[in-house]
Amino acid sequence: MLMSVDSTRFKVQVNAIKITSSNVILDMDSGIVESLKDGVRNIQFNNPKRKNAISTSTYLKVAEILNEDASNDEVVATIFTGTGEYFTSGNDISGGLKKFDDLDAAIANSVSAYEAMAEALIQYPKLLVVLVNGPAIGVGVTMCGLCDLVYATENATFSTPFVKLGLTIEAGASVLFPKIMGRTKANEMLLFGKTFTAQEAFQANLVSRVIPQGDIGSFVEDLHKKIGKLNMVGFVNNKNLMKDSIQKDLLDTFYREGNYLRKALKSENFMNNMLLFMNRKSKL
Amino acid sequence: MDCGIAVSLKNGVRTIQFNNTKRKNTLTVKTFLTISEILNEDASNDKIRGTIFTGTGEYFTSGNDLSAALKQVLKIEGTIADIQFAYKAFARALIQYPKLLVVIVNGPSIGIGVTMCGLCDLIYATENATFMTPFVKFGITIEGCSTDLLPKIMGHTKANEMLLLGRTITAHDALQANLVSKIIPQRDIANFVEDLHKEIEQLNMASFINNKKLMKEGTQKDLLDTFHRENDYLSEALNSENFANNMALFAKRKSKL
């Protein structure tokens, strides 16, 4: 089974034993559970031993699904959520880097994979919903800027530790979040690393609605019904109209962020923080 | 000459009330054109300081009168081009109006009643006000430059619930999402409007106009681009099969009442 995301960027060959690309070994398990019901694609981050961390293969799998669904008339929407306690603890950096022989290749693969998913989100023409069911970290937060509707349970939290780790803001959030939340709140989150509660994220307009824990089942059912009734031609046309004005700047921002990210991943600052991080983990 | 509005002028404050009460204050081609005329004249009339929009009775407005579009689909009379022309005149008049624009949403507000809020300066709502935009449902497209302005005001996740999913937003939702600056309790409206009038009468108009211009230059420099782009999408949608089908369904449902 050949799984190709973008022919100019990243080709992954899956065989029975391992996925390889320039000496990088990736996990066989893509770390998601997906299903399709009445035209609604559900993608659940599912890596319970690692707090639903997103690995390179997760990024690629999600990108593949989104890109296929984009042109599949039977699919009208995608809902992202997490299984268990976490939404996602974000990019599985340490996991990705542990298995490297060639650091440059590891970094290139990791960034390409994340970019494939972010690009797929940016280009997806149908409805994108995020249901943040618990703590969301890093890309789990920034992807909210690229989706259409974001709901959070009461126990959801939002945290972006880029500065602490020596990494950089991604998924267009460097430009989108100040617009959504206002500068001062966006800076608290992105530059200061403040963890936002569901209520704070709602008040900052990052989240459309906070769903009480007990109401989640009926909320999701209601959401499915609403999606089922959507006039899809009208929806796609209007989403296109709304994205038109920001799309070009968004892609520019996205590529600019990519450059910063690649630099940061090679920096001493990041390496030192990674060593500290891995040291601390090994002591647990 | 029933244009569906009641117009008054008091101490330099123009009030325009949607009052087509038999039809939930719907806005017809005539309504749009008359309002545009008033706004454009008032823009250069030094005696006018500002305009307050509100509705008579239970509704703010049920939006654009689509029955005219229905008639065209059913091949009776009127043209979709007229509707679009009239709406564009109205939106342009709001975009260009240099003085104070206030909206007091006194009840349910639909379609253009919601999208015009992005183009006005102060938006107030009573507790029973609601905001709903059925563009996707009908197969037409979002207008009033709100594709650009409302996500900026409310954040995209809240704007999208309304604009793309077609959810009805309550006055409190609107307040939390920064679409509305204040909710006025029903019993306080008369006093509120009186106080508002007094404030407007005391405004330093030359300075107000200068500062509004300054703000719009920065925050709305791409507004006309957005406006043109939206109009292209709207023309296409109004002439689409999807819209015609939805209008036929709508007509069927109405005739069964």
Could you read off the pLDDT of A3-24 as tens digits, one per residue?
333 333 333 333 322 333 333 3
pLDDT recorded at residue B50: 96
Lowest mean pLDDT among A97-106, A258-267, B126-135, B202-211: A97-106
Topology of the domain comprising A31-282: 2-enoyl-CoA Hydratase; Chain A, domain 1 (3.90.226)
pLDDT recorded at residue A92: 84
- Going by pLDDT thresholds of 50, 70 and 90, the confidence category of residue A227 is very high
Please state which of the four CATH numbers 3.90.226.10, 1.20.20.10, 3.40.50.10420, 2.40.160.50 is assigned to the domain occupying B5-189: 3.90.226.10
pLDDT recorded at residue A107: 81
Place of tokens 């700047």: A249
In the 8-state DSSP scheme, what is residue B62? Answer: -
Residues of B in Cβ contact (< 8 Å) with A150: 157
Partnered with residue A209 across adjacent β-strands are: A151
CA angle, residues B25, A230, B172, in degrees to nearest 5 = 50
CA distance A189 to A161: 8
CA distance A259 to A252: 11
Place of tokens 């910063």: A260
- Measured between CA atoms, the residue of chain B closest to residue A147 is B157
- Residue in B142, B157, B158 closest to A242 by CB: B142
- Going by pLDDT thresholds of 50, 70 and 90, the confidence category of residue A283 is low
Q: Do B148 and A239 touch (CB under 8 A)?
A: no
Decide: residue A5, CB within 10 A, 0-12 exposed, 13-18 middle, 19+ buried: buried
pLDDT recorded at residue A13: 32
CA distance A244 to chain B (A): 9
CA distance A178 to chain B (A): 10
Q: Do B165 and A207 touch (CB under 8 A)?
A: no
End-to-end CA distance of chain A: give it in Å, rounded: 39
**Domain ranges within chain A, ordered by starting residue:** 1-27, 31-282
Please check whether residue A152 is in contact with residue A132, taking contact to mean a CB–CB distance below 8 angstroms.
Answer: yes
pLDDT recorded at residue A126: 97
- Measured between CA atoms, the residue of chain B closest to residue A239 is B164
Top residue of B157, B220, B222, B245 to mutate, by most chain A CBs within 10 Å, is B157
pLDDT recorded at residue A22: 35
Q: Do B233 and A206 touch (CB under 8 A)?
A: no
Helix (H/G/I), strand (E/B), else coil: A276:
helix
pLDDT recorded at residue A106: 80
Residues of chain B with pLDDT under 50: 77
Share of chain A above pLDDT 90, in %: 67
Residues of A with CB under 8 A from a CB of B: 127, 144-145, 147-150, 176, 179-181, 202-209, 226, 230-231, 233-235, 237-242, 244-245
- Measured between CA atoms, the residue of chain B closest to residue A237 is B141
What is the value of pTM for the model shown? 0.83
Lowest mean pLDDT among A31-40, A96-105, A193-202, B143-152: A96-105
B26 contact A CB<8A: no
State phi, psi for A2 to the nearest 5 degrees. Answer: -95, 125
Residues of B in Cβ contact (< 8 Å) with A235: 136, 164
CA distance B164 to chain A (A): 6
Q: Do A242 and B230 touch (CB under 8 A)?
A: no
**Domain ranges within chain B, ordered by starting residue:** 5-189
Average pLDDT, chain A: 86
Tell whether the model's pLDDT for residue A219 goes beyond 60: yes
Q: Do B138 and A234 touch (CB under 8 A)?
A: yes
Give the number of residues written for chain A: 284
H or E segment and range at residue A1: none
Of B30, B136, B17, the C-alpha closest to B82 is B30
At B232, the amino acid letter reads D
Q: What tens digit of pLDDT does each residue of A30-81 get?
A: 899 999 999 999 999 999 899 999 999 999 999 999 999 999 999 999 999 9
Residues of A in Cβ contact (< 8 Å) with B158: 205, 208
Mapping DSSP onto H, E and C, the string for A147-187 reads CCEEEEECCCEEECCHHHHCCCCCCCHHHHHHHHHCHHHHH
Task: Copy the structure tokens of residue B113.
Answer: 């009643």
Number of A:B CB contacts under 8 A?
96
Torsion of the alpha carbons at B246, B130, B111 and B136, rounded to the nearest 10: -40
pLDDT recorded at residue A6: 36
